[in-house]
Each structure stands twice: as structure tokens, then as C-alpha cells.
Amino acid sequence: MLVDRARLQAIRALCRTMPRFRAGKRLWSQADDRELRRTFPHTDTATLAQQLRRTYTSTCGRAAKLGLHKSAAYLARHRRTGANRLRTCGAPFRFQPGHVSANKGLRRPGYAPGHMKETQFKKGGLPRNYMPVGSTRTCDGYVYVKVADVRYVPYTVNWLPLHIIEWERVNGPLPAGHALAFRNHDRTDLRLENLECITRRELMARNSVHNLPAPLKQTVQLLGALNRQLRRRTRDAEQDRRSA
């Protein structure tokens, strides 16, 4: 849905009132840099980021760009504090030499009273949603086929896109830097004549916002800028609340 002209003008006016923001990113001012140079060498970075209403990553990146480092006194104090903490933290709860496990001597499976033995997993049992090799499923509109049954591996090892398998069965391996596109935009239509091998560059150009009509493209860009500003201001307000 397109927004009306008055709303577009209001969005532009809102963006013009935020001179320290560009493309959704809060810029570092000279005052921020001076404060960072003054406090970074001897202040905890997380605390400093909260004071400057920045993220930890942004503060570290800016300090690196300015060539800032922690002072020798800060590093010595930090190392000493960390070493002492490692020596004392959790000491009362550590296993001591000669400790006997609480479940030593218990027989499994089925050692507990009740119906544990009847309800526990049996050796060789399969979950209820198990699907054998050759099964198909749909994810994000794409059809996947199960080609292997290897346990404890990423999803992409056992399941592969069926349209790529069908295309490679006739044309060989898919070239590097290429992708398959559906001519009729139907991801379930796996006919070879519906599949088209294109470069990633061509795929990006097809999915670009610049292919939209000018009013719609402008609306998408302005709404994106507005959402970025809202997220930024919400995060800054949350940091101010925590530091108060």
C-alpha cells in the first residue's frame, strides 16, 4: 500500500530533524570522540558504552579506529581481578579429590521406581516425526528431498533442494556463483523448462527494490529509514533507562 504525499513529507521532515543519523546509523561527533579518548584507556568498555549510549561493538570499533588502547594500570588491575575471581568463583561447589558420584552403582535402564522403564526411549527407536530417505518436505516454498540419514549433522547434509538435484541430473553440477531461478515464480514447479541458471548478480538485480515503480520504491526506502530511526531511538531510550 502506498502512503499519501502528506505522510511522505512528514517522514522527510522527521529524518531532517536527525542530523546525527545517516542511513540508520548514529554518527560519532567530535564531542563523543573527545570523551572516548579521555575515558577509554582507564574505563571498562561496557560501562563506557552505556554512558555514551552506544553498543559495546560500536564503542570497540570506534576506539580501534582512533587507535586507543587500555592503559597499563587498567590491564594490570583487570588481570589481577580476573585471576582472583577464577581462583575463588565456585570453589565451594567444585568436586574434590575422591568425590563419589551420587549415582554410582545405580543400574540403568529402568533403575528408578514407577513406569520409567516402560516409558523411556528404547534402543533403535525413532521419533514420531522421523522421515525416511526419499521423503520430501516443503520449506519456504522450496521442495526438499531427504538424501541421507546421518545423525547429528546440519540440516543441509540430509536434505537437499529437489529442483537443484533434478537440474544437476541433466546438466551436471551447478556452476560456482550461479543459482537456479523459476521462470514462472512457482517454487513447486520442478519442470526443467521452468528452471533457469543465472548468476548471483543477475539474481540480485531481479530482486532489487529498484525494479519497483518509482513511488513504491521511494515509499519502501523512506519506511526503512523511519524504522531504523525508531529502533535506534528505542535502544537509546532503553540504555538511558538502565543507566539512570
Q: pLDDT tens across 124-136, in order?
A: 888 888 999 999 9
Q: What is the value of pTM for the model shown?
A: 0.48
Of 67-76, 108-117, 186-195, 214-223, the least confident: 108-117
> Which of the four pLDDT bands, split at 50, 70 and 90, describes residue 1?
very low
pLDDT band per the 50, 70, 90 thresholds, residue 14: low
What is the pLDDT at residue 53?
87
| pLDDT bucket at 19, cuts 50 / 70 / 90 | very low
What does the mean pLDDT of the chain come to? Answer: 84
Mean pLDDT confidence for 37-66: 91
Alpha helices in the chain (DSSP H): 5-16, 30-39, 45-51, 56-66, 72-88, 116-119, 155-158, 162-171, 200-206, 214-243
24 — pLDDT class (breaks 50, 70, 90): low
Three-class SS state of 26: strand
Which has more pLDDT, 59 or 1? Answer: 59
pLDDT in the model for residue 34: 93
Q: Is the pLDDT of residue 109 over 90?
A: no
Confidence of residue 110 (pLDDT cuts 50, 70, 90): low
ω before 109 within 30° of 0 (cis)? yes
In angstroms, the CA 53 to CA 218 distance is 31
CB 235 within 8 A of CB 25: no
Which of 44-53, 101-110, 144-153, 177-186 has the lowest average pLDDT?
A: 101-110
Per-residue confidence (pLDDT) for residue 125, from 0 to 100: 82
Query: What is the model's pLDDT at position 23?
Result: 47
